[in-house]
Structure 1
Amino acid sequence: MTVDVVVVGAGIVGAACARALARRGLAVTVLDRRGAASGTTAHGEGNLLVSDKEPGPELVLAQHAARRWPSLVAELDEELDDELEEERGGERGRPGRGFPPLEYDPKGGLVAATTAAGAQPLRDFAARQRGAGVDAQEIDVASALELEPALNPALTAAVWYPEDAQVQPVAAAEALLASARRAGATVRTGVEVVGALRDGDRLVGLRTTGGDVPAGAVVLAAGPWSGVVAARLGVSLPVRPRRGMVLVTTRMPHVVRHKVYDGDYVGATQSGDAALQTSSVVESTAAGTVLIGSSREQVGFDERLRVAVLREMAARAVRLFPFLADASVMRSYLGFRPFVPDHLPIVGPDPRTPGLWVATGHEGAGIGLGPVSGELLADLFTGAAPAVDPAPFRVDRPAVLAGDVETTEEAS
């Protein structure tokens, strides 16, 4: 049977694409070689940020996402609660609904400089963002300590971002997939793409380890593996993995109240350097743990633990929050982010290959931007007026067409 659309990737971006397309009446099948939300989505911190983005197209998309997330959470809550009500024969009750909460928390973010050299660049960055409509409030040390009493008082500058938020990424992706299923989508896991089905130049489906999947269109939303999958379809796509690591403490009283990071984080996110870069990102979770990041390096799909990276991240975190020197770390994890040379997501049709659509390249912003990227793709697919200008994210922009990417079967 031919479906309207087959989506490759069941992370948050693929789930968002599936939901948006299925809710518009299209027959959708989602494929993932592993489990749903088991790749990049499961290895992030759930950041929903405007604070780390330079004025430009990505910030515009992030601002749209910040406005969209509260209503999306409400929609998913209502949908999934309705679904449980049906299963219970009319009994309604969110506290015991059986689906994990999304843990959406509009708690705001605090960016701090801890050196004299870092103070003015942070203030200048915030001023540029204010010019683009971001609520970026420069505050003094006393105000920063009022927001975060455990913060190191030896700050040189601080900016408060009330629009920043956090969500539990796996729960959010699973909820989007559940909503997509409710709209008629099918999700198949343990199915790997091995090639293309073509009618002349047109892509008309996929060859997979689970058999051929004929489709009117293919959406490639495989995160950092998008370059590998694209190569199997005969397409060049410059998406590379950029590895990041996170430390997780044991549970403790809720000391860190907001998302807090040092001013170096912004530079790390925007850098194209393949070498290791670290910055301090600290935040609490609803479970009572503290997440400590972050690192960025391009080492392919190398999953080996590097203790030196964790040590550097921990040292940076202690400079922000001295109390963490006595905290116990119970685990660490790493993940791969989809890196694109110009640091912009790729969303839309690929004019080189009729029938192929792309939604990838969000790097560390996929959780925050995933839902609106899925809606943007669905708008373009169905001819609806998009909420943001899609041109900066098009597949055929120079940075994408000129980029080269090495793919390995080992990464698949």
Structure 2
Amino acid sequence: MSSTGADVVVIGAGMVGAACAYYAARAGLAVTVVDRGGVAGGTTGAGEGNILFSDKPPGPELALARHSGRLWHELGDDLGGERIELERKGGLVVAASAAEHTALRAFAAGQRAAGVEVLEVPAEALPEHEPHLARDLAGGMYYPQDMQVQPMLAAAHLLRAAGVPVLTGTTVTGLRRGAAGAIRGVVTDRGVLSTTAVVNAAGVWAAEIAGLAGVGLPVLPRRGFVLVTEALPPLIRHKVYAAGYVANVGRSSEGLEVSPVVEGTRAGTVLIGSTRERVGFDGTVSLSALRQLAAGAVRLFPVLATVSVIRAYRGFRPYSPDHLPMIGADPRVPGLFHASGHEGAGIGLAPATGHAVAALLTGRAPQVDLRPFAPERHDVHV
């Protein structure tokens, strides 16, 4: 690859990078996407495709999620909901005890005040939503706006619709800066891309890319496992998870945290998550984590006790210390923009992230306040 140019180079061909490329191209910019692997080869390809409102308390992330939800509906129309397996299935959060149900009510009240649709489900009504749920649960909350998408299909179709060059198998080795420190190009192992704008959508490797520009970005990998069952007749109607999942999302401990999340797919398989642990990039399969996932799923759906698991996979979520993504221009390096640190919410938040970054790239005001997501807020130095 000889030296070529683009208005914007997006580093990362996962869901967030694809969304940034899509909206930037729609805004009239010449975009090139670079990824050292393949499309959706990182966190995106190891995700469940969550588009959730149910796990987010009132605040900046929920505001971003609500904007993203509207954009997902538009993308379903533009890309074809069937093509990307976009399912408006709703989410059901269940409580094992009266105390958990009370806590869910309080959490839902805050979300409802922020504009989220949520309906309380008493214990006796749970079988109407999920006939195979355990019968000793205390109740739950139903979120009709929760959705699911096939993340690899969504990223691929977004990039195709963007109509931009996608350079896979291409490693970024440097970022060129001019005399005043502004971005002037992206150096890869296949040549140089001249540009004045770089979007760092490298997921768990975002800190590495930021370091090439001489700035710090506290994005770390957080490992998670998912079990996949054999194909089954229609069994689970919604995304169903235990009340403890919300607490696990917001914790910062390094140790293993497990909370069951169970949902069906169009292929008939059932996906079972979710674990979180900070172990760096250690990809070792943890049998203890897998056993806990299986036990948690059977606790919610006893019918799964006799079902075979056909495979397990793991991924690394891009974790930030305050659990909010890094979105926006980096004031330390003119021309450098960040779109990373979404942890397990990257699929759901990708459209709003890409939409906001495209607005910044073209000098427009984003539709969501990005100040809580300012990349420099942790003031990390390298």
In structure 2, what is the Cα distance between the partners aligned to 1:220 and 1:111? 34
Q: What are the within-5 Å matches in structure 2 for residues 66-215 of structure 1?
A: 66-77=69-80, 101-181=83-163, 185-200=164-179, 201-215=181-195
Does 2:8 match 1:9?
no
Query: d(CA) in 2 for partners of 1:64 and 1:136?
Result: 17
After TM superposition, give the deviation of residue 138 of structure 1 in Å.
1.1
Residue matched to 1:285: 265
> Where does structure 2 lack aligned partners over 5 or more consecutive residues?
none
**In structure 2, what is the Cα distance between the partners aligned to 1:355 and 1:71?**
29
Give the CA deviation at 1:157. Answer: 2.5
Can you give the 5+ residue segments of structure 1 that lack an aligned partner in the other structure?
79-99, 406-412
| Contact persistence 1:123–1:157 (CA under 8 A) | no
Query: For 2:360, which of 351, 364, 380 is the aligned residue?
Result: 380
Counterpart of 2:224, as a letter, is: G
CA distance in 2, matches of 1:331, 1:229: 32
**8 Å CA contact retained: 1:114, 1:320:** no
Residue of structure 1 in register with 2:26 after alignment: 23
| Superposition map of 1:210-359 within 5 A | 210-359=190-339
Query: Offset at 1:385?
Result: 3.1
Matched residue of 1:7: which SS? strand
Amino acid at match of 1:178: R
1:96 maps to which residue?
none
Displaced runs of 4 or more, over 6 A: none
For the Cα contact (< 8 Å) 1:122–1:263, is it kept in 2? Answer: yes
Look up the SS of the partner of 1:216 in the other structure: coil
Quick check: 2:182–2:196 contact (8 Å CA) kept in 1? no
Is contact 2:213–2:333 with CA below 8 Å preserved after alignment? no
**Inter-partner Cα distance in structure 1 for 2:365 and 2:183:** 25
- Aligned equivalents of 1:194, 1:380: Cα separation in 2: 25
Distance in 2, Cα, partners of 1:287 & 1:357: 37
How far residue 279 of structure 1 moved from its aligned partner, in angstroms, is 0.1
SS at match of 2:103: helix
Q: CA deviation at 1:116?
A: 4.0
Deviation per CA, 1:32-83, whole angstroms, max 9, x where unpaired?
Answer: 00101111100000010000001100001111112221111111239xxxxx
Alignment RMSD, CA only? Answer: 1.4
Q: Structure 1 stretch 59-68 or stretch 333-342: which is displaced more? A: 59-68
In 2, are the aligned partners of 1:2 and 1:216 still within 8 Å (CA)?
no
Structure 1 residue 223 displacement after superposition: 0.6
Q: Which amino acid aligns with 1:114?
A: A
**Residue type of the alignment partner of 2:14:** G
Supply the AA of the counterpart residue of 2:12: G
CA contact (8 A) 1:64 1:372 kept: yes
TM-score of the two chains, using structure 2 as the length reference: 0.96
Q: Distance in 2 between matches of 1:298 and 1:381?
A: 33
> Aligned equivalents of 1:64 and 1:232: distance in 2?
32
Q: What letter matches 1:346 in structure 2?
A: M
Q: Distance in 1 between matches of 2:379 and 2:135?
A: 47
